[in-house]
Structure 1
């Protein structure tokens, strides 16, 4: 591999590829191990509470409260399994019959905001949305926006703001800033999230955006965090567009503030 010709170059590329594949395999194995651990907790809770109730013991004070714990953990388990299944099939879903299909992102965002409003009434939802169209199927984009919003609600203190322009969506929240090392791995599959848990939501966002040829990034702002989905090239001809879709740099700086 020390040869300074084409054969040496090929050898070095093969070794680099092997190392990357090995790294990905190790990451997947660690993810499976940690996801298994993450699934065990609600399963163990459901099992122990059910056995206690069967024996006439109410571990959370009374029957209704104890059953609520079981239901809450069953919901947690269902959400985790749903995320795993969706992550597994998302690439097939968003590439099947998706050629030339566009989605009205104004409609997607408005629907997601409507559904999200009940999550935490104390969080203000601010929207500045133009009618623009993104390449790809509606379901994939809906899930991607929902996952970013779910993440935003988890950390926001007082508000979440969504700005939609041509080829550009930004979702702000005034939660705590992210560590720099976390930003670097934010959307990578199989990466460990806050509290040592594997959050699959942002991995799904990454798959949707990459498959539809968009870029997703997260970064810190003056008063919190922003997630941005964008395409740095002119959109294909023939797609419907709303009016005044493209904002200036000053417009984005104002939105950022």
Structure 2
């Protein structure tokens, strides 16, 4: 049904359900009338047989009723024999065209007494009830009478007012449901147009986002799922604006970060060339080149994350080995700290090179802020980095991982932003909290 509009789909669905319901209710009504017919027929036969069982006779003007009077003798528990010839009333003979085989079949099925509606072998329908008249315990002979009615009585009922009632029920049911379908479809058309217009408004606003630079605010009245969708789109618009602003600020800060070491390198190189300064100042150029290299590396790390999309490249990385390698590479920088490692053999899915960058950036951050202690734990798929540096103000915790976000003690830079983006790419979460004293970073599966 994708080729139909939403309003058309709703109308088709509603009409189908309504028409199907009308058919079901019509059939139920018909079956109810069949039950009523059978009840009337059974009452007619029962009244007749109770009236005549002690004095068998036929009733005037009721040619559809007759009886069978017979005697059976019980021999043992299960064997029963017919005694003499059964008496068939004139009406029974008339109903069966004086066919003895049919009359005997009616007697046998009536004596069995397991069904009111009897269908004979020649496909005639009769309605029978049996009543006991007398029992002789000495001779073991029992007399019974069976009331017999043909189907003319029910046919007569169906052909008169009852039949009209059935037709009226059918007509009434279909007319009622037709009216319900009409009113329902009109209501659905009006409602679906209202809903479609609200959806179209969201679509139109979204289509103008790029041309307006995401500046047009999406507002939608209501208190339903469509309003929730509009709110979600609006939240997405705001987040895109924030990201664009963050990118712009990041590029500005990167430009500044790159400009400073380049200026220093250029100035000292000219001074050395002109003989204004000593050759030993080349050491300053080398330090600035190292800073520049670090900045470029971070930019490359961020850029590489954009292209990690094939999860088939992921491996089970033993972070214990990665952590030990990074700590060993930074042993000179960590000499001033008490470094405690508590590592198990937990593994995380991802790419080893990127996890190396994650661990290196977090340790680099710890070196800048720690006083004396750095504790790294890897337990049960959870990796934590603790340093005993100053607490982070609560208002800056959420923004800690944004590039160049300004904190109370300056900018956070790119390092922690790279960490968060990397672990999120691998389906992990990164949180930070104050440990009072100190700060702990936690990486674990989402």
Specify the TM-score bucket, using the shorter chain as the normaliser: 0.7 to 0.9
Give the counterpart of 2:358 among 144, 150, 169: 144
Q: Is the 8 A contact 2:362 2:416 kept in 1?
A: yes
Query: How far is the alpha carbon of 1:30 from its aligned partner?
Result: 1.4
Q: Are 1:35 and 2:254 matched, yes or no?
A: yes
Structure 2: gaps spanning 5 or more residues:
1-219
SS in 2 for 1:175: coil
State the distance in 2 between where 1:227 and 1:6 align: 37
Query: How far is the alpha carbon of 1:87 from its aligned partner?
Result: 0.7
Q: If the length of structure 1 is used for normalisation, what is the TM-score?
A: 0.81
Q: Is the 8 A contact 2:403 2:412 kept in 1?
A: no
Q: Which residue of 1 is the match for residue 294 of structure 2? A: 79
Matches within 5 A, 1:50-65: 50-58=269-277, 62-64=278-280
Q: Which residue of 2 is the match for residue 26 of structure 1? A: 245
Q: Is the 8 A contact 1:103 1:135 kept in 2?
A: yes
Higher relative contact order (CA 8 A, sep 6+): 1
Q: If the length of structure 2 is used for normalisation, what is the TM-score?
A: 0.48
Looking at CA atoms only, which structure, 1 or 2, has the larger radius of gyration?
Answer: 2
Query: How far is the alpha carbon of 1:9 from its aligned partner?
Result: 3.8
Higher strand share goes to which structure?
2
Change in Cα spacing, 1:4 to 1:96, as seen in structure 2 (3 Å) is closer
Deviations 1:185-210 (A, max 9, x none): 11234534675445111111111211
Query: How far is the alpha carbon of 1:224 from its aligned partner?
Result: 1.2
Q: Are 1:16 and 2:232 matched, yes or no?
A: no
State the distance in 2 between where 1:226 and 1:16 align: 30
Deviations 1:187-236 (A, max 9, x none): 2345346754451111111112111111111111122111111126xxxx
- The RMSD of aligned alpha carbons is 2.0
Deviations 1:23-57 (A, max 9, x none): 21112111111211121111111111111111111
SS in 1 for 2:391: coil
Give the counterpart of 1:97 among 303, 306, 312: 312
Change in Cα spacing, 1:96 to 1:70, as seen in structure 2 (3 Å) is farther
Q: Which stretch of the first structure deviates more once superposed, 168-177 or 14-23?
A: 14-23
SS in 2 for 1:186: coil
Structure 1: gaps spanning 5 or more residues:
233-257
SS in 1 for 2:237: helix
Q: Is the 8 A contact 1:94 1:137 kept in 2?
A: no
